[in-house]
Amino acid sequence: MKKLQYNSPVILTFFLLSLGVLLLDWLTGGWTTLHAFCVYRSSLADPLFYVRLFGHVLGHADFDHFLGNMLLLLVIGPPLEEKYGSRTLLAGILLTAGVSGILQCVFFPGSALLGASGIVFMLIMLASLAGMKDGRIPLTLILAAVLYLGQEVYAMVALRDNVANFMHLVGGVTGTVFGVVLAKRR
């Protein structure tokens, strides 16, 4: 009989924490998400501000939002965790969460941000860089960047759909920079 394997600890833990946050949201009528799992400008003296600064990536508006992010996370994340290691991938997730949280507070003080879309786009760009060797830029990176960035810029300009396209871009840029730094270390 085969046993289940917790094969990707960072990605699986992220998934389970996000699922727990979604259940808490449902049980508390949205209170926990508003107060701990979406980021918005507030007092730096508020201890929950720092929880929200990183925890916003675990919160989701509803089950569809959760599913959209988690399906991609579960497909893209495990191979990257295997390639780069759990600590490195966790560092990328925390970096992306922190940068997007800070930028949200600075540039969009009147709105809140939640969801793992920035993390997912960081993983997409990191995956497209995974084949980088000898300083050569993979064509997959260029194609992914052009399509991804083009779609996000178009959505920011032409659509008013309440999606945090700027933060998707932040995730993509963070993933690209993170991937280039990792490639230089190897």
If pLDDT is split at 50, 70 and 90, which confidence band does 159 have?
low
Q: In this model, does residue 30 exceed pLDDT 60? A: yes
Neighbours of 104 (CB within 10 A): 26
pLDDT of res. 163: 54
| Greater model confidence, 163 or 8 | 8
Compare 114 and 185 and report the one with higher pLDDT. 114
**CA–CA distance, 125 with 53 (Å, rounded to integer):** 22
pTM for this one? Answer: 0.88
pLDDT of the residue at 102: 93
Q: Indicate whether 182 pLDDT > 70.
A: yes
pLDDT score for 160: 60
What is the enclosing helix (H) or strand (E) of 86? helix 86-107
What is the spatial distance between Cα 181 and Cα 103, in angstroms, rounded to a whole number?
21
| Nearest-angstrom CA–CA distance, 67 and 19 | 10
Q: 50-68: per-residue pLDDT in tens?
A: 999 999 999 999 999 999 9
Percent of the chain whose predicted confidence (pLDDT) is above 90: 58
**Is the per-residue pLDDT at 158 higher than 80?**
no
CA 169-98-87 angle, to 5 degrees, is 100
The chain-wide mean pLDDT, for the chain, equals: 88
